Structure 1
Protein backbone atom coordinates (compact mmCIF):
# COMPACT_ATOMS: atom_id res chain seq x y z
CA UNK A 1 0.00 0.00 0.00
CA UNK A 2 1.33 3.39 -0.96
CA UNK A 3 1.23 5.96 1.83
CA UNK A 4 3.84 8.55 0.86
CA UNK A 5 4.71 10.16 -2.47
CA UNK A 6 6.94 13.00 -3.57
CA UNK A 7 6.71 15.31 -6.55
CA UNK A 8 9.88 17.01 -7.76
CA UNK A 9 9.05 19.82 -10.14
CA UNK A 10 9.79 23.54 -10.33
CA UNK A 11 6.26 24.37 -11.48
CA UNK A 12 3.79 25.10 -8.69
CA UNK A 13 0.82 24.32 -10.96
CA UNK A 14 2.15 20.79 -11.53
CA UNK A 15 2.32 20.31 -7.75
CA UNK A 16 -1.33 21.37 -7.48
CA UNK A 17 -2.38 19.03 -10.31
CA UNK A 18 -0.51 16.14 -8.67
CA UNK A 19 -2.15 16.88 -5.32
CA UNK A 20 -5.55 16.88 -6.99
CA UNK A 21 -4.82 13.49 -8.64
CA UNK A 22 -3.61 12.02 -5.34
CA UNK A 23 -6.66 13.30 -3.47
CA UNK A 24 -8.91 11.88 -6.18
CA UNK A 25 -7.36 8.42 -5.80
CA UNK A 26 -6.71 8.26 -2.05
CA UNK A 27 -6.88 11.28 0.23
CA UNK A 28 -4.87 9.39 2.87
CA UNK A 29 -1.72 9.43 0.71
CA UNK A 30 0.66 12.18 1.80
CA UNK A 31 2.34 14.06 -1.06
CA UNK A 32 5.64 15.80 -0.32
CA UNK A 33 6.94 18.56 -2.57
CA UNK A 34 10.40 19.49 -3.77
CA UNK A 35 11.22 22.08 -6.42
CA UNK A 36 14.54 20.74 -7.74
CA UNK A 37 16.65 17.61 -7.47
CA UNK A 38 18.84 18.81 -4.62
CA UNK A 39 15.86 19.79 -2.51
CA UNK A 40 14.42 16.31 -3.16
CA UNK A 41 17.64 14.59 -2.07
CA UNK A 42 17.77 16.74 1.06
CA UNK A 43 14.15 15.94 1.83
CA UNK A 44 14.75 12.21 1.32
CA UNK A 45 17.52 12.41 3.92
CA UNK A 46 15.05 13.67 6.53
CA UNK A 47 11.97 11.60 5.70
CA UNK A 48 10.98 8.68 7.85
CA UNK A 49 9.47 6.68 6.37
CA UNK A 50 10.66 7.53 2.87
CA UNK A 51 8.22 7.93 -0.02
CA UNK A 52 7.06 4.87 -1.90
CA UNK A 53 6.88 6.77 -5.17
CA UNK A 54 8.62 9.83 -6.63
CA UNK A 55 7.27 11.80 -9.60
CA UNK A 56 10.23 13.57 -11.20
CA UNK A 57 10.47 16.33 -13.79
CA UNK A 58 13.56 16.60 -16.00
CA UNK A 59 14.00 20.30 -16.67
CA UNK A 60 14.42 22.27 -13.44
CA UNK A 61 16.76 25.05 -12.34
CA UNK A 62 19.41 23.89 -9.92
CA UNK A 63 19.66 20.11 -10.02
CA UNK A 64 17.80 18.64 -13.00
CA UNK A 65 15.93 15.36 -13.06
CA UNK A 66 18.82 13.70 -14.90
CA UNK A 67 21.25 14.87 -12.21
CA UNK A 68 18.88 13.70 -9.48
CA UNK A 69 18.71 10.21 -11.03
CA UNK A 70 22.51 9.97 -11.15
CA UNK A 71 22.82 11.00 -7.48
CA UNK A 72 19.90 8.85 -6.34
CA UNK A 73 21.45 5.81 -8.05
CA UNK A 74 24.53 6.18 -5.81
CA UNK A 75 22.46 5.63 -2.66
CA UNK A 76 22.53 2.30 -0.90
CA UNK A 77 18.87 2.47 0.08
CA UNK A 78 16.82 3.07 -3.03
CA UNK A 79 13.54 3.44 -1.21
CA UNK A 80 11.20 4.65 -3.93
CA UNK A 81 10.01 3.85 -7.39
CA UNK A 82 10.54 6.83 -9.69
CA UNK A 83 8.12 7.86 -12.42
CA UNK A 84 9.32 10.56 -14.77
CA UNK A 85 6.62 13.22 -15.13
CA UNK A 86 7.83 15.69 -17.70
CA UNK A 87 6.95 17.80 -20.69
CA UNK A 88 9.89 16.41 -22.70
CA UNK A 89 8.86 14.02 -25.44
CA UNK A 90 12.47 13.65 -26.61
CA UNK A 91 13.43 9.98 -27.16
CA UNK A 92 16.93 10.70 -25.83
CA UNK A 93 15.50 11.99 -22.53
CA UNK A 94 13.30 8.93 -22.21
CA UNK A 95 16.07 6.43 -22.94
CA UNK A 96 18.44 8.26 -20.58
CA UNK A 97 15.91 8.06 -17.74
CA UNK A 98 14.76 4.51 -18.38
CA UNK A 99 18.30 3.15 -18.05
CA UNK A 100 17.83 3.26 -14.26
CA UNK A 101 16.19 0.12 -12.87
CA UNK A 102 14.25 2.12 -10.28
CA UNK A 103 12.54 4.26 -12.97
CA UNK A 104 9.18 2.62 -13.57
CA UNK A 105 7.66 4.80 -16.28
CA UNK A 106 8.03 7.95 -18.37
CA UNK A 107 4.92 10.13 -18.58
CA UNK A 108 4.10 13.38 -20.24
CA UNK A 109 2.47 15.95 -17.96
CA UNK A 110 -0.01 16.34 -16.40
CA UNK A 111 -0.50 13.51 -13.92
CA UNK A 112 -4.01 12.13 -14.01
CA UNK A 113 -5.96 10.18 -11.44
CA UNK A 114 -6.72 7.21 -13.73
CA UNK A 115 -3.02 6.57 -14.39
CA UNK A 116 -2.17 7.06 -10.72
CA UNK A 117 -4.88 4.63 -9.66
CA UNK A 118 -3.56 1.95 -12.06
CA UNK A 119 0.03 2.56 -10.93
CA UNK A 120 -0.89 2.18 -7.27
CA UNK A 121 -2.68 -1.10 -8.02
CA UNK A 122 0.37 -2.36 -9.94
CA UNK A 123 2.78 -1.52 -7.13
Structure 2
Protein backbone atom coordinates (compact mmCIF):
# COMPACT_ATOMS: atom_id res chain seq x y z
CA UNK A 1 0.00 0.00 0.00
CA UNK A 2 1.22 3.48 -0.75
CA UNK A 3 1.95 5.57 2.33
CA UNK A 4 -0.41 8.37 1.25
CA UNK A 5 -3.28 5.90 0.92
CA UNK A 6 -2.40 4.48 4.34
CA UNK A 7 -2.46 7.97 5.89
CA UNK A 8 -5.95 8.54 4.51
CA UNK A 9 -7.20 5.23 5.89
CA UNK A 10 -5.45 5.90 9.21
CA UNK A 11 -7.42 9.12 9.54
CA UNK A 12 -10.64 7.19 8.94
CA UNK A 13 -9.95 4.28 11.26
CA UNK A 14 -7.41 5.04 14.00
CA UNK A 15 -8.59 5.72 17.53
CA UNK A 16 -12.26 5.23 16.76
CA UNK A 17 -14.70 2.59 17.85
CA UNK A 18 -15.72 1.02 14.59
CA UNK A 19 -18.78 -1.09 13.85
CA UNK A 20 -18.22 -4.67 12.73
CA UNK A 21 -19.24 -3.93 9.14
CA UNK A 22 -16.38 -1.42 8.92
CA UNK A 23 -13.79 -3.75 10.47
CA UNK A 24 -14.78 -6.41 7.96
CA UNK A 25 -14.46 -4.07 4.97
CA UNK A 26 -11.73 -4.42 2.36
CA UNK A 27 -10.41 -0.93 3.16
CA UNK A 28 -10.03 -1.73 6.86
CA UNK A 29 -8.40 -5.08 6.16
CA UNK A 30 -5.94 -3.39 3.78
CA UNK A 31 -5.23 -0.75 6.44
CA UNK A 32 -4.65 -3.36 9.16
CA UNK A 33 -2.43 -5.43 6.85
CA UNK A 34 -0.34 -2.37 5.98
CA UNK A 35 -0.01 -1.43 9.65
CA UNK A 36 1.30 -4.89 10.50
CA UNK A 37 3.26 -5.74 7.36
CA UNK A 38 4.54 -2.49 5.82
CA UNK A 39 7.43 -0.95 7.75
CA UNK A 40 6.92 2.55 6.31
CA UNK A 41 3.24 2.57 7.28
CA UNK A 42 3.94 1.17 10.74
CA UNK A 43 6.75 3.66 11.41
CA UNK A 44 4.63 6.59 10.24
CA UNK A 45 1.69 5.53 12.46
CA UNK A 46 3.90 5.04 15.54
CA UNK A 47 5.68 8.37 14.98
CA UNK A 48 2.32 10.14 14.67
CA UNK A 49 1.06 8.52 17.87
CA UNK A 50 4.18 9.46 19.83
CA UNK A 51 4.20 13.02 18.44
CA UNK A 52 0.54 13.48 19.40
CA UNK A 53 1.39 12.41 22.96
CA UNK A 54 4.40 14.76 23.16
CA UNK A 55 6.82 11.85 23.58
CA UNK A 56 10.40 12.51 22.40
CA UNK A 57 11.04 9.41 20.34
CA UNK A 58 14.05 10.84 18.50
CA UNK A 59 16.50 9.77 21.19
CA UNK A 60 15.66 6.07 20.77
CA UNK A 61 17.39 3.69 18.38
CA UNK A 62 14.11 2.68 16.73
CA UNK A 63 10.44 3.50 16.86
CA UNK A 64 9.51 0.10 18.26
CA UNK A 65 11.68 0.64 21.34
CA UNK A 66 10.36 4.18 21.75
CA UNK A 67 6.78 2.95 21.50
CA UNK A 68 7.27 0.16 24.03
CA UNK A 69 8.99 2.54 26.48
CA UNK A 70 6.11 5.02 26.00
CA UNK A 71 3.59 2.25 26.69
CA UNK A 72 5.42 1.44 29.93
CA UNK A 73 4.62 4.86 31.41
CA UNK A 74 1.57 5.93 33.37
CA UNK A 75 -0.35 9.20 32.90
CA UNK A 76 2.28 11.06 34.96
CA UNK A 77 5.21 9.70 32.94
CA UNK A 78 6.24 7.30 35.70
CA UNK A 79 7.25 3.70 35.06
CA UNK A 80 4.47 1.18 35.68
CA UNK A 81 6.04 -1.65 37.65
CA UNK A 82 3.03 -3.83 38.31
CA UNK A 83 1.40 -3.99 34.87
CA UNK A 84 1.81 -7.33 33.07
CA UNK A 85 1.23 -5.56 29.73
CA UNK A 86 4.57 -3.74 30.08
CA UNK A 87 7.33 -5.53 28.18
CA UNK A 88 10.24 -3.09 28.52
CA UNK A 89 11.20 -0.25 30.84
CA UNK A 90 13.74 2.53 30.76
CA UNK A 91 14.98 3.74 34.12
CA UNK A 92 16.23 7.25 34.95
CA UNK A 93 19.76 5.88 35.16
CA UNK A 94 19.55 5.07 31.44
CA UNK A 95 19.20 1.34 31.92
CA UNK A 96 16.74 -0.67 29.86
CA UNK A 97 15.18 -3.85 31.12
CA UNK A 98 12.55 -6.46 30.67
CA UNK A 99 10.36 -6.54 33.79
CA UNK A 100 9.91 -9.77 35.70
CA UNK A 101 6.29 -9.67 36.77
CA UNK A 102 6.70 -11.15 40.23
CA UNK A 103 5.13 -8.37 42.28
CA UNK A 104 8.30 -6.29 42.66
CA UNK A 105 10.43 -4.00 40.51
CA UNK A 106 12.68 -6.85 39.34
CA UNK A 107 13.98 -6.61 35.80
CA UNK A 108 16.43 -8.29 33.46
CA UNK A 109 18.81 -5.58 32.26
CA UNK A 110 19.35 -5.62 28.50
CA UNK A 111 22.25 -4.10 26.59
CA UNK A 112 20.88 -4.36 23.05
CA UNK A 113 17.56 -3.35 21.54
CA UNK A 114 15.38 -6.44 21.09
CA UNK A 115 13.95 -5.03 17.84
CA UNK A 116 16.84 -3.48 15.92
CA UNK A 117 19.89 -4.88 17.71
CA UNK A 118 21.48 -1.52 18.46
CA UNK A 119 23.68 -1.37 21.58
CA UNK A 120 21.77 0.56 24.22
CA UNK A 121 23.83 3.21 25.95
CA UNK A 122 23.23 4.89 29.29
TM-score range, shorter chain: under 0.3
Query: Which structure shows the higher strand fraction?
Result: 1
| Larger RCO (CA within 8 A; separation ≥ 6) | 1
- State TM-score, norm by structure 2: 0.23
Task: State the TM-score, normalizing by the size of structure 1.
Answer: 0.23
